[in-house]
Structure 1
Amino acid sequence: MSAAPAGSAALFAPYTLRSVTLPNRVWMAAMCQYSAEAFGPNAGVADDWHFAHYAARAVGGTGLIIQEATAVSPEGRITPYDLGIWNDTQVEALRRITSFLKARGTVPGIQIAHAGRKASTDRTWKGGGPVGPEAHGWLPVAPSAVPFDGDRPAPHELTADEIGEIVGQFAAAAERALAAGYEIVEIHGAHGYLIGEFLSPFSNKRTDAYGGSFENRTRLAVEVVDAVRAVWPEELPLFFRISATDWLEEDGWTADETVRLAGLLQEHGVDLLDVSTGGLAPRVEIPVGPGYQVPFAARVKAETSLPVAAVGLIIEPAHAEKILANGEADAVLLGRELLRDPYWARRAAAELGAEPRTPDQYHRSW
C-alpha cells in the first residue's frame, strides 16, 4: 500500500491509541449486514459477502473498520442472520477478513454486542418485525420484562446469575476477537440493545443492584468493560459505543449521564467513546440532519479527557475536516455514506489536498 504524508488535513493525520496507530481519522461505523446463515454449523459465520464488503472499504482507504454488531451468544443476535463470535468456527472465517484489512493498511476492529429485548427480529429489508421459533427465533432477554414495542413479546427478565453469564460471554468474545486478529474491540452500549437497556430508566425497572440509581444502571456496562479489559491485551485499545441521549422528554438516558459515564469508563480502561444517539424507544422524534449527533461527542470531549469519535450523517469531506479542526472529535465514523461510496476516503483526500492511500495495483489511478 503506497502512502504519502497527510499534509495539513486533520482528517488524514495518523492517530495513536495505546500501541495501535490508525493511518487516518476516516473510520467505518459498525453496520449490520444480516447476511450470515441463521442455523446449523455455520450459523453466524462470515462468508464471501462479508469479506467483499469489508475488503472494498479497506481498498478505498478507510483507516479503521469496525465490524458490524457481532453477537456474543446466539440469543444476543438482533436477527438470526447476524454474525457471531461465540465459537471457534466463526473465528476461523473472521481471520480471512482481518488478514486482508491489515495487508491493506487498515486497522480491523469489531463491535461485540448483545441485542437484549431487540433480539429475534427479521432483517430490516423484510420489515424487521419479531420472529418466532418457526423462523429460527427465540424469546429475547432484558433487564425488565418490558417489550420494545407493542408487537414484540415481553422479554425474559434476567436474573443476577444470568447477567453474570452474559458478562462472561462478552469476555469470551473478546478473547476470540484477539484470536481472529482484531486490533480494536468496541463494546456495544448504544441503540437500545442490552447494555443500553440497563443504562436507561425507560427500559430498566429493576429494584436490585442493577436498577434505580446511576451507579446501579451503569453496573453492567462497567462489569462488561472490566471483564473485557481483563482479557484484552493492555497494548490494544478498547472502545465503547454509547447513545448519548434516548431523545425522550422524561425517564430516558441523558447527555449529562453520558458525560458522567465517560469519565467512569475511562477509569476502567476504555480508550475512546463512540458517540451516537437514540434507538431505545420507537417513534421518537429526532432532529436528523448533517452532523446532528456531533454536539454530543463535542460535549464529552470538552468536559472529559476521554477521546471521542463523532457520527451522524457526516457526508461531505469538508464537514468531516471541520469537525476535527474545531476539536469537536478525534475521528469521524461514517455509516451510510461508506455504503454508498466505499472509496469515500480517497475522494476526501483529493478534495482536502492529501494524497490518498492507494493499492499498488491501482497505480494507474494516481
Structure 2
Amino acid sequence: MKTQVAIIGAGPSGLLLGHLLKQAGVECVVVERQSRDYVLGRIRAGVLETVTTGLMTKLGIDSRMNAEGLIEQGFNLATNDRLIRIDITALTGKHVTVYGQTELTRDLMDAAPERGLEIVFEAKDVAIHGVEGDAPCLTFVKDGVEQRLDCAFVAGCDGFHGPSRKAIPASAVREYSQEYPFGWLGILADVPPCHDELIYANTDRGFALASMRSKTRSRYYIQVPLTDRIEDWSEDRLWDELAVRFDPISSHGVTRGKALEMSIAPLRSYVFETMRHERLFLAGDSAHIVPPTGAKGLNLAASDVAYLSDALIAFFTGGDEDGLAGYEARALARIWKAERFSWQLTKLMHRFPEDGAFEHRMQAAELDYVASSTAMQTAIAENYVGLPL
C-alpha cells in the first residue's frame, strides 16, 4: 500500500484530518488499532467550539450536528447557594455547541466511504519506520497478515497511549506534566438535565459538574479522592450526592435514571512539545492532555488538525514547506493558552486536599470578583468559547 499521508488513529482528530486532506486532493489512509464499534463505544466530551463546528461545516458533514446539537450561549459557575452566569454570546458574540464526541465521530466515519477516505480498522501492532528519512512507512497486522503502508508523512492522531509519541527519540523529547490529587466520578443517563446550561460548582463537598448531551441525556461528575474505586459508589449514592449539590441551585432539580455508563477518571495536564520530528507529526491527545474542566480536549485536537491540514495541503499542492516548519509553534501557542485556562478553572472550582481555610477564602473571593466584574467574565467567556486560530 502507498499513500501521501499515513494517519494513525480513527478518533475525531484523525478522521477530521483525513477528510480535510481528501477534500483538497491529498491522498491519505487512516489506520486504527480498534474496531469501529469499539471506537464508537467510547464516551467522551460534547462541548464544541466554533473551530470544531467550523471544520465540520467546511467538510459539509454538519447536517446532523446542526439538527441535533444544542446551542449554548452561556454557562454557570456556582457556589453552594448561588449561580454566576457567564453570558458567552453577549460577551463575545459567539456560542458553543453541545454535541457528543461520539456522534461527531460517527458522522465522520459514516461520510468516509462516499468520499473515498480509507480507514483500516483492527490494525494490530502498528509500528512507525523511517521518519528521519524521506520514505517513512507504517507496518501493522491485519487479519493475521503483516501489511506495509508507504507514505511521505505520518500523522500521529492515536491518543495518549498510541505508538506515535513513543516513536520520537528521547533526545528530542520536551514534555511537561501536572497530576491532580483527585479524579472525576461520572455518570451518563437518559434523563433531562437539571439546568438549561452547564453548571461548574465549587461546594463545601467538593467540585461537581452538571452537563448534558441532549435535552434527554445528562452527564454529571463529582470530585472524588484518587483512592476511590467505582465499586465504592452505587448509582443511588451518586444520585443522592448530586441532588444535594444541584437541587438548591438548578432550575429543574436532578432527575434520576439508570446509568448508561459510570467511571472514575484521573485528571492531568500534559504537553508534549515535540509535535514534529522530521516526517512525523503529532496532533490531539498524542501531544497534550487537559483536565476536562473547560472542555478543551477535543477542541484543541481540532485546532491542531486545522493547522496540520493547512500545512500538508500547502506542501502537496504548492511545494510550500513553511507551514510544516511552523506547525509546532502555531499549535503550541494555542495549546498552552488552553492548558492555562483549564488549569486555572480547575484550581478555582475544586477543593485540593492540601488547601486550608485561607485557600478556600481565596476561591470565594475570586468567585465573588467574577460575579461583579464584566472584565473577568469576558476573559472567562473568551477562553471558554475558544481563542482564535
Q: Which structure: greater strand fraction?
A: 2
State the structure with more CA Rg: 2
TM norm structure 1 = 0.24
TM norm structure 2 = 0.23
